Amino acid sequence: MDEQHVYLKPVTLKNILKFAVPTIAMTVFMSFYTMVDGLFVSNLIGTDALSAINLTAPVIQLVTAVSTMLATGGSAVIMKKMGEQKTGEAREDFTFLILVNVVVGIVMCALGYLLMDRIFAGMNLSAAVEGYCVTYLSRYLIFTVPILLMNNFTLYMIASEKAALSLVCSVTGGVLNMVLDYVFLAVFQTGIGGAAVATGLGYSVTAVAGLALFSRKKSLLHFTKPVFRFKTLVNASSNGCSEMATALVTGIVTMMFNWTMLRYVGEDGVAAVTIIMYVLMFASSLYTGYSYGVAPMISYYYGEKNRGKLKKLIAVSLGVIAGISVLTAAASFLLTRPLVSVFARPDNPVYELAATGNRICTAALLFIGFNIFASGMFTALSNGVVSAVLAFSRSFVFMLIAMLVLPAVFGVNGVWLATPAAELMALVLSAVMFLRYRKRYGYGG
C-alpha cells in the first residue's frame, strides 16, 4: 500500500480532522439542499408552500431509506474486507451493491407515482397546501436514481480517500441548487415544482462525478465485474438497518410532529416545525459528517485488529463531538431570531412559534452528536444489531413516548420539549452500550 495511505498514518487529531473535515463540510452543504428550497419557497411563494415541503419529507425519507441502509452497511462491510486485504472481493461487492441501488431506485420511483393520489389523503389539508405537496413530490421523484447513487457515492468517495472530491461535489451541487432555485422561482416563476427540480439536479452532481471516479481503475474502489453474493447483501442490509430505521422513523416522527401541530395550531404550526427542523438538521450535519468521516477508519482498524489505533480514534472522537455540541447549542440559542427571520417575517404568526420552539429544542444539540456517533460507530464495527437498537430507540421509541406525554401536559411547548427529552434518554442508552462493548472491541480497555 501507498506510504501516504491514511489508514497507515498515526491516529492524531490532525490526521483525523484531515480525513473528517471534508466530510463535515460536505454534509453541511448537503443539508443546504432542503434548506435552500425552504428559504426560496417561504420567501417567494409563502409559508403554505413551506409547510408542503415538510409534509412531503416523510415520503422522501421512505424513498431513500433502503439506499441509506445499503450505503452505510455496505461501506462498513467493504472497508472491513479491504482491511483484511480482500481487495478484489471488496470491489466485486461494491459494484454489485451499486447495481442493487439502481434497481431499488427504479422500483421506489414507480411506487411513488402509483401511490401519489393516496399519500396526502386524510390529512385534512387545504386545497392549496395539498396541491403544493403533489407538485413538489411528483417532480422530486424524477431524480430517485441519481439521489440514491448520490447517497452511496458520497460514502464510497470518503472510503476511497476522495473526501475532498465529495466536498467539491457537494459544494457544486449546493451552489447549483441555489442558482436554479432563484432562476426557476424568481425568474421563470415555475412555482414549488421548480424547487424540487433544482434540488434533484443539485444531487445529480455527485452521482455523475461518482460514476466517472469509480470507472477509473486507479481508484481504491472501482467498478469491476460484479459477483452476486447473497451473504454480502444480507450483511450490508443487516449492518445498515439502523440507518434505514433512522430514515424510516424520521419520516414517521415528522408525520407525528405535523399531525400534532395541525391539531394545536394548524398549518402555521407545520411551517414552524419545518423551520426548527432546518436548524436541527444543519447542526446535526456536523455530527453526521464527522461520524461518516471516521467510520471507514473504524472499520479498517477493526478489520486489521489494531486495538491501539481504534481506542485512540474513539477517545479523540468523543472529545471532538463534545466540542461541537457545546458550540452548536450556544450558537443556536443566541442566534434564534436571526435564524428564524430568514424563513418567516416577524409579523408572521409562524415567527414567534418557531422562535420559541427553537430555543427549547436547542437543548437537544447537547446530546444528538453522541447518539449519532454511537450508532455510526457500531455500524462501522459491523454490529448492526446494537446500532439498530440505538437508532430505533432514539428516533422512535423515546420520541414516541415524549410525543405522547409532553404535549398532553405542556401543550405546544410539549412538542418542542419532545426532541431534547428523547435525545437525553437515547444518550443514557448509548452510554450503556458503549460501556458494555468496550472490551469486546478494545476501544475502552
Q: Are 112 and 144 in contact (CB under 8 A)?
A: yes
25-39, 222-236, 267-281, 385-399 — which is least confidently predicted? 25-39
How many CB atoms are closer than 10 A to CB 211? 14
pLDDT computed for residue 436 by the predictor: 93
Is a pLDDT exceeding 60 seen at residue 4? no
pLDDT-above-70 percentage for the chain? 97
Identity of residue 118:
R
Cell numbers given for 100: 442493487
Tens digit of each residue's pLDDT (9 = 90 or more) over 292-346: 889 888 988 888 888 889 999 999 999 999 999 999 999 999 999 998 998 888 8
- What distance in Å separates the CA atoms of residue 60 and residue 54, rounded to the nearest whole number? 10
32-36, 152-156, 271-275 — which is least confidently predicted? 32-36
Instruction: Report residue 305: phi and psi, to 5°.
Output: 60, 35
Three-state SS for 379? helix
- What distance in Å separates the CA atoms of residue 166 and residue 173, rounded to the nearest whole number? 10
- What distance in Å separates the CA atoms of residue 143 and residue 370, rounded to the nearest whole number? 33
Tens digit of each residue's pLDDT (9 = 90 or more) over 263-291: 888 878 888 888 888 888 888 889 988 99
201 or 27, which is more confident: 201
266 or 104, which is more confident: 104
- Sign of the Cα pseudo-torsion (393, 395, 399, 400, in order): negative
Is a pLDDT exceeding 70 seen at residue 385? yes
Residue 103 CA, distance from chain mean position: 22
Average pLDDT for 41-70: 83
Average pLDDT for 127-140: 92
pLDDT computed for residue 1 by the predictor: 39
Is a pLDDT exceeding 90 seen at residue 184? yes
Angle, CA 295 vertex, CA 61 and CA 238 arms, to 5°: 55
pLDDT computed for residue 3 by the predictor: 42
pLDDT grade for 365, boundaries at 50, 70 and 90: very high
Overall residue count recorded for the chain in this entry: 445
Three-state SS for 9? coil
Residue in the block written with cell 409547510:
51
Tens digit of each residue's pLDDT (9 = 90 or more) over 412-426: 899 999 999 999 999
pLDDT grade for 366, boundaries at 50, 70 and 90: very high
pLDDT computed for residue 93 by the predictor: 92
Helices 412-436 and 384-392 pack at an angle, to 10 degrees, of: 160
Average pLDDT for 366-370: 95
